[in-house]
C-alpha cells in the first residue's frame, strides 16, 4: 500500500483544490436535478483555507495532492445539547487512490482538529442515492441521522 501524508492546505494548493471541486460537482450532478448549469462552485476555498473557523486538509503522495476535505465550525440549533459543531465537506479522493484509507485519514485529521477546538459533534451531508459515499462515511463511523426531503411544485 502506498503511503500518503495528511496536512493542512495552503493557498498554494488552490488550483488543485478547485479541480477537485469540479470533480465533486461532476460526481454529484446525477444525484441533484436542482444544480444550476456549469460553471458552478460549491465552496469559497480561499476563505476556508484562511479562516480560523475552518480547516482544509489534504492527503498527499510525494508532492501530489490526492484527497481533500474541510471542517467548518457552525452554530448548532438552540435546542440541541451542543452550541457548536463541525461540518465536514469537500470530501474527495482521487480515483486512483480510493480504497486505500485516504478518506478515513482525512476524516480522522478533521475530527482531531475539531476536538482541538473543543468541539465534539461532527456532521456532514450526503445525497441519499450516493451509496458509495454513504458506505465510505459509515465505514469511518458516521450514522444516518436526518433525511432532508424536497418536492418540486408547479410554478
pLDDT in tens, 12-38: 999 999 999 999 999 999 999 999 999
2 has pLDDT over 70? no
pLDDT at 149 over 60: yes
Residue pair 67/58 in contact by the 8 Å Cβ criterion: yes
pTM here? 0.94
| Rounded Cα distance, 53 and 50, in Å | 9
- How many other CB atoms sit within 10 Å of the CB of residue 45? 21
Assign 3-class secondary structure to the chain.
Answer: CCCCEEEECCHHHHHHHHHHHHHHHHHHHHHCCCCCCCCCCCCCHHHHHHCCCEEEEEEEECCEEEEEEEEEEEECCCCCCCCEEEEEEEEEECHHHCCCCHHHHHHHHHHHHHHHCCCCCEEECCCCCCHHHHHHHHHCCCCCCCCCCCCCCCC
Question: Mean per-residue pLDDT for 137-155?
Answer: 94
Quick one: pLDDT at residue 155?
84
Instruction: Flag whether pLDDT at 1 surpasses 80.
Output: no
- The per-residue pLDDT for 10 is 98
Count other Cβ atoms within 10 Å, centred on residue 18: 13
pLDDT tens readout for residues 80-121? 999 999 999 999 999 999 999 999 999 999 999 999 999 999
In tens, the pLDDT along 40-54 reads 999 999 999 999 999
Q: Say what the pLDDT of residue 29 is.
A: 97
Are 21 and 68 contacting, i.e. CB atoms less than 8 angstroms apart? no
Amino acid at each position: 500500500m502506498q503511503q500518503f501524508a495528511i496536512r493542512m492546505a495552503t493557498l498554494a494548493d488552490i488550483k488543485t483544490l478547485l479541480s477537485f471541486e469540479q470533480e465533486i460537482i461532476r460526481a454529484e450532478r446525477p444525484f441533484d436535478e436542482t444544480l444550476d448549469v456549469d460553471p458552478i462552485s460549491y465552496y469559497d476555498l480561499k476563505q476556508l483555507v484562511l479562516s480560523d473557523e475552518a480547516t482544509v486538509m489534504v492527503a498527499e503522495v510525494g508532492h501530489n495532492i490526492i484527497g481533500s476535505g474541510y471542517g467548518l465550525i457552525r452554530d448548532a440549533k438552540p435546542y440541541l445539547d451542543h452550541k457548536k459543531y463541525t461540518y465536514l465537506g469537500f470530501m474527495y479522493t482521487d480515483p486512483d487512490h480510493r480504497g486505500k484509507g485516504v478518506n478515513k485519514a482525512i476524516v480522522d485529521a478533521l475530527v482531531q482538529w475539531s476536538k482541538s477546538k473543543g468541539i465534539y459533534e461532527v456532521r456532514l451531508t450526503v445525497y441519499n442515492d450516493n451509496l458509495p459515499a454513504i458506505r465510505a462515511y459509515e465505514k469511518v463511523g458516521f450514522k444516518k441521522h436526518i433525511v432532508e426531503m424536497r418536492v418540486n411544485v408547479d410554478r
